[in-house]
Amino acid sequence: MNNFRFRNPVELLFGKGQIACLKQRVAAGTRVLMTYGGGSIKRNGVYDQVMAALSDCEVTEFGGIEANPDYATLMKAVEICRHQKIDLLLAVGGGSIIDGTKFIAAATCFESDPWQLLVGGAKVTRALPLATVLTLPATGSEMNCGAVISRRETQEKHSFGSELVFPRFSILDPEVVYSLPKRQITNGVVDIYAHTLEQYLTTANHTRVMDRWAEGLLQTLIEVAPRLLGEERSYDDCADYMITATMGLNGFIAMGVDEDWATHMIGHDLTALHGLDHGVTLAIVFPGVMHVMRREKEAKLLQYGERVWGIREGSTDERIDAAIRCTETFFESVGMKIHLSDYGIGEPTIRTIVERFRQRGWKLGEHGIVTLDKVEAILRHVM
Ligand code: NZQ
Ligand code: ZN
């Protein structure tokens, strides 16, 4: 096991009716900027619950944050924060709203060009406090300190992280899952699955506890996904699903392990260039990573195949092929397509992504093993 430092200060308030707890958590008179997206919260009752709980506060609303939150939109909220002396940011939404709000929190207090927080390696030294009401389980953003921001003007998508943007608390009411369109369940299932694999499918035999946690998350997803995509969603399935998402990217399964993240980095550029949903990019890229990196990840692919899919028979390559096929079939079973050509994407995009990575000088994968020629091979394999 690798040495590690672990700290996660996010308080979770989990369960039915927990949105009402905002009343105790946010003092009367607090100046709150409440951020949200395109209006789903007004249709499913979350907005009304939040407003009722904040009735003693001074609430300013900032709606209209897009999926894959856009830098230009977020900078408008930064202006509001700078002029209105906001005490607390409250993100009410999915990963895009929470990530966007983390950026607003940091950018408001940043004295030079906030874009430098995303591309220039500038450090966050101060941030406004923020909290969240999660409406879409997927990213884990409600319990981590990372954020991914898009800039449509230049077709870029970049991330930043700082312990100063950990939410103070996050409210997780599984009943929000009832109103999610199937497309967002599909995206979420694949995103959570991919987060788990990014932290699992690396080095074998050095983190038994985290391995079994990760396998438990994958098995839970495989069990609940078909039911969530069926006709009726039970409360318990929604609750299991929600906590799986949070546990997938809150640092717990990352303790002491090697991490990969090449799939996510490639996926971000596919979103930036073609507007594909985040989960969609992962369903395409992950099987390619498994195929191209099969020698480097051999022992872990075999463990994954055996423990998650029960694959015990055949040669090493046959078992790895079967594990990859099970993964692809699972992604397809939740409604994903797994090839670039399904979205009309081909050679020019592969060349652009490889060139972008070359210019950024990125080292991808655990110990930098996903080199540029591998990135190219991965994308060719999933064409
Ligand atoms: O905008 P509204 O109308 O609210 O609709 C949203 C949006 O269209 C809808 N939605 C959310 N909750 C709903 C709902 N519709 C009905 N009922 C509800 N309860 O869902 C749509 C997608 O929302 P979004 O927030 O974009 O989804 P998601 O949570 O998948 O977030 C994706 C973003 O998070 C980033 C991604 O790159 C992407 O930008 N990620 C953030 C990470 C992090 N901070 O740790 C890690 C991830 O790997 C990921 O990169
Ligand atoms: Zn993700």
Residue 264 CB less than 6 A away from ligand 1: yes
Residue 68 CB less than 6 A away from ligand 1: yes
Index of the ligand 1 atom closest to the CA of residue 188:
30
Q: Rounded CA gap, 186 and 184, in Å?
A: 5
pLDDT tens digits, one per residue of 124-137: 999 999 999 999 99
pLDDT tier at 120 (50, 70, 90 boundaries)?
Answer: confident
**Quick count: other Cβ atoms within 10 Å of Cβ 163?**
11
Residue 146 CB less than 6 A away from ligand 1: yes
Q: Which residues, including other chains, have CB under 8 Å from residue 196's CB and lie 6 or more apart?
A: 214, 217, 218, 221, 248, 253
pLDDT tens digits, one per residue of 337-373: 999 999 999 999 999 999 999 999 988 999 999 999 9
Q: What are residue 208's phi and psi, to 5 degrees?
A: -65, -40
Q: What are residue 258's phi and psi, to 5 degrees?
A: -80, 140
Index of the ligand 1 atom closest to the CA of residue 39:
3
Task: Return the DSSP state at 65.
Answer: P
Q: Rounded CA gap, 379 and 257, in Å?
A: 26
How do the residues of the chain divide into helix, strand and coil, expressed in percent and rounded to 5?
55, 10, 35
Residue 281 CB less than 6 A away from ligand 1: no
**Across residues 268-286, what is the average pLDDT?**
98
Q: Rounded CA gap, 376 and 380, in Å?
A: 6
The per-residue pLDDT for 205 is 85
pTM, whole model, 2 decimals? 0.98
pLDDT tens digits, one per residue of 209-259: 999 999 999 999 999 999 999 989 999 999 999 999 999 999 999 999 999
Q: Is the pLDDT of residue 269 over 90?
A: yes
Q: What are residue 14's phi and psi, to 5 degrees?
A: -115, 130
In angstroms, the first-to-last Cα distance of the chain is: 36
Output the CA 93–ligand 1 centroid distance in Å.
Answer: 7
Residue 184 CB less than 6 A away from ligand 1: yes
Beta-bridge partner residues of 93: 134
160: enclosing H helix or E strand = strand 156-161
Asked whether the beta carbons of 170 and 131 are under 8 A apart, the reply is yes
pLDDT tier at 153 (50, 70, 90 boundaries)?
Answer: very high
Output the CA 85–ligand 2 centroid distance in Å.
Answer: 33
Asked whether the beta carbons of 14 and 243 are under 8 A apart, the reply is yes
pLDDT tier at 67 (50, 70, 90 boundaries)?
Answer: very high
Distances from the Cα of 121 to the Cα of 115, 124, 162, 354, angstroms: 10, 9, 11, 21
Residue 199 CB less than 6 A away from ligand 1: no
Residue whose Cα lies nearest atom 28 of ligand 1: it is: 95
67: enclosing H helix or E strand = none
Q: Is the pLDDT of residue 11 over 90?
A: yes
